[in-house]
Chains A and B, each alone.
Chain A
Amino acid sequence: MIHTAPPSISQSETVPQATPPTPPRKPTRRNLSWLGLVPFLGFALLFLILPVFYLVNGAFQTPDGRYSFETMLSLSAPEIAGSYGLSLKLSFASAAMGTVFGLILGYALLLGGLPSWVRRAFMTFSGVASNFAGVPLAFAFIATLGRLGLVTLVLRDVLGINIYAAGFSLFSFWGLTLTYLYFQLPLMVLMITPALEGLRPEWREAAESLGASRMQYVARVALPLLAPSVLGCFLLLFANAFGTLATIYALTSANYPVVPIVLFQQIRGNVLYNPNLGYALAVGMILIMGLSNTLYFILRRRAERWQK
């Protein structure tokens, strides 16, 4: 067999890595095989690794080009720390609510004795709703719970409850959380389904034959088994909310200073008056996203032990 690399390689760009030093006599097959990955590795290098590296590099420099931790440390300035706090709180609230309600809904759908068409309908809908984010979602919630939204008006005119007079606003913390819940809840239902399906009926029968009540089974058997999956899903929802920008941008006209919004405006017009602080802001986001995703993968590994 002749080991020519696939033709798509011909357009390979400046890719220094991926070829281990060739032994002097005859190149072995494996060394040449690596060449087939050059297009993908080159693409990832140019449009994923180098851009991120550029930002990380800039985050550890001062505006005059000195390497120092100064810029990263200035993330603790009150205004920026406030943005991170707001982002973390919003992500935590929407992820926690999504996790709890999603778990309850998923449990009811899969193990609650409902007919299977109900479950199928919810699963299909969840697939759509978890992808229905961004600007259109903001529009839908403005039409629903905005000042002139249908639900707001029905509550006011039919039931006599004026939610805006009572202090609710779609453009405040809880309004945003509720909007995020529209994609967080279905995502949780979809992601927790395999874990719920992995709860074997035998375990429940065993608990029951030992005299456990339904509540005891849930609290002492099902929940501990589900815990790693649930926690993992929570972290994924958390990261999902943390990176969300378009929804909140359209809802609040970019007037709600969560980290992605601040970063967006920094790219538009250097609102922080320090380009390096912008890089540090981005690196902070990567760190938080990376941490929650890494923990998610670890927990998923753990959860899969029970699903064999």
Chain B
Amino acid sequence: MSRRFPILSALIALIGAAFFIVPLIATFNFSLRMKRGELSFEAYRSVFDSDVFLGVLGFSATASLMAILMGVLIVVPTAYWVRLRVPRARPVIEFLSLMPLIIPPVVLVFGYVRLYGSSSILPLTMTEAGTNVLLVIGYVVLSVPYMYRAVDNGMAAIDIATLTEAAESLGASRLRTIVFVIFPNIRSAIMSGAFLTFSISLGEFVITSLLNRPAFGPYLVQMGQDFAYQPAALAIMAFAFTWICMVLMEAFATRKPGQRLLPWRAPRSVTKAKS
């Protein structure tokens, strides 16, 4: 093979890079033009100054964190139990965990609105708190495919059968085993799933909007209808936010149990030995 410079490949990569980067540059540039005749961060200032922004962000962040918590509580014991005791149920559980990828969110929330609406046995949408619970549940369902995969991969990397036997022979109950032995060992996997969940649910629009929640997704759409420059600023911030979530997800997903997240920081034991 010739070792010439790969002109064709480089050209393709260049076009690809342009397609990816030009919209970002254009959006960033656009977001700086709020003040006529100069470039300024006025649009960003205006977004942060609004109480509505902070309100919806707080609401969405809380709902997303609740969804992560609830997702972990449902997925971790299930994945553990499937691996340890009922491997025969694996196909069923895996199919169910992948089903949300087939059911579009708009269909899912349609079912919720009807099934848990005014005339049902469990009228969740009739109260504010009930609707919030339904919203969190919706986020959990959206994230289960990713959460289950992340946690299951985490469990594949450790020997849960041996760990469980060791814990039990030392007298630990099943709850203690899960909380103090299994959980710490798959913390990285859980964190990796958590960041993906967070990035999915923080700006989620369909379920949130149809349940009429004062959250970030519907706020974004409203901003798009009312303003010109703030949406561009919000898009840049959303991109940065997605980037951070993905980087953290990657970092946790590729970390081995016990390994530090930041490789350049000396492990505690070393620092101790030196002092």
**Bound pair: A and B?**
yes
Give chain A's interface residues, CB within 8 Å of chain B. 1, 4, 6-8, 30, 33-34, 36-37, 39-41, 43-44, 47-48, 50-52, 54-55, 58, 101, 104-105, 108-109, 112-114, 118, 122, 124-125, 127-129, 131-132, 134-145, 148-151, 181-182, 185-186, 239, 242-243, 245-246, 249-250, 253, 260, 263-264, 267-268, 278-279, 282, 285-286, 289-290, 293
Which residues of chain B are near A47, meaning CB under 8 Å? Answer: 112, 137-138, 140-141
Smallest CB gap from B200: residue in A: A131
On whether the beta carbons of B13 and A122 are closer than 8 Å, the reply is yes
On whether the beta carbons of B86 and A30 are closer than 8 Å, the reply is yes
Main SS at interface, chain B = helix
| Mask: chain B, 8-43; 1 = CB below 8 Å from A; 0 = not | 111011001101101111110111000000000000
Please report which residues of chain B, range 77-125, place their CB below 8 angstroms from some CB of chain A when the two chains form the complex: 77-78, 81-82, 85-86, 89, 93, 96, 99-115
A238 to chain B, nearest CB (A): 13
Given A50-B115, A108-B12, A249-B205, A136 and B23 touching (CB < 8 A)? no
Known: A105-B13, A143-B27. 14 other contacts (CB 8 A): A6-B178, A40-B75, A48-B108, A50-B111, A52-B103, A55-B110, A112-B6, A114-B6, A124-B246, A135-B221, A136-B239, A186-B20, A278-B110, A282-B111
Main SS at interface, chain A = helix
Which residues of chain A are near B196, meaning CB under 8 Å? Answer: 131
Q: From B56-64, B152-160, B230-238, B259-267, give the one contacting chain A.
A: B230-238
On whether the beta carbons of A51 and B77 are closer than 8 Å, the reply is no
Q: Choose among B25, B30, B78, B115 the residue that contacts A40 (Cβ–Cβ < 8 A).
A: B78
Smallest CB gap from B111: residue in A: A51
Q: How far is the CA of A127 from the CA of B204 in the complex (A)?
A: 18
Give chain B's interface residues, CB within 8 Å of chain A. 6, 8-10, 12-13, 16-17, 19-20, 22-27, 29-31, 73-75, 77-78, 81-82, 85-86, 89, 93, 96, 99-115, 137-138, 140-141, 168, 173-175, 178, 196, 199-200, 203-206, 210, 217, 220-221, 224-225, 228, 231-232, 234-235, 238-239, 242-243, 245-247, 250
A/B interface sample: 17 pairs, CB < 8 A: A6-B81, A6-B174, A37-B93, A52-B111, A58-B114, A105-B13, A109-B13, A113-B6, A122-B17, A134-B203, A135-B217, A139-B232, A140-B239, A141-B23, A148-B228, A250-B224, A267-B109
On whether the beta carbons of B110 and A37 are closer than 8 Å, the reply is no
On whether the beta carbons of B206 and A289 are closer than 8 Å, the reply is no
Which residues of chain A are near B234, meaning CB under 8 Å? Answer: 136, 139
Smallest CB gap from B78: residue in A: A40
Smallest CB gap from A101: residue in B: B16
On whether the beta carbons of B103 and A289 are closer than 8 Å, the reply is yes
Smallest CB gap from A287: residue in B: B102
Q: Which 8 A-B pairs have the closest CB atoms?
A: A51-B111, A112-B9, A136-B238, A150-B26, A143-B30, A139-B235, A243-B104, A36-B81
Smallest CB gap from B208: residue in A: A246
On whether the beta carbons of B96 and A140 are closer than 8 Å, the reply is no
B227 to chain A, nearest CB (A): 10
Given A33-B86, A39-B74, A114 and B10 touching (CB < 8 A)? yes
Which residues of chain B are near A249, meaning CB under 8 Å? Answer: 205, 221
Give the A-B contact count at a CB cut-off of 8 A.
246
Which residues of chain A are near B96, meaning CB under 8 Å? Answer: 40-41, 44, 48
Q: Choose among B81, B108, B168, B203 the residue that contacts A136 (Cβ–Cβ < 8 A).
A: B203
Q: How far is the CA of A134 from the CA of B111 in the complex (A)?
A: 22
On whether the beta carbons of B217 and A134 are closer than 8 Å, the reply is yes
On whether the beta carbons of B78 and A260 are closer than 8 Å, the reply is no
Given A30-B86, A135-B224, A285-B107, A37 and B6 touching (CB < 8 A)? no
On whether the beta carbons of B102 and A245 are closer than 8 Å, the reply is no
Q: How far is the CA of A278 from the CA of B108 in the complex (A)?
A: 13
Which residues of chain B are near A50, meaning CB under 8 Å? Answer: 111, 115
Q: Choose among B17, B174, B250 the residue that contacts A127 (Cβ–Cβ < 8 A).
A: B250
Max count, chain B CB within 10 A of own CB: residue among A118, A249, A250: A250
On whether the beta carbons of B103 and A286 are closer than 8 Å, the reply is yes
On whether the beta carbons of B112 and A245 are closer than 8 Å, the reply is no
Q: How far is the CA of A99 from the CA of B236 in the complex (A)?
A: 27
Smallest CB gap from B249: residue in A: A127
On whether the beta carbons of A245 and B106 are closer than 8 Å, the reply is yes
Which residues of chain B are near A246, meaning CB under 8 Å? Answer: 205-206, 217, 221
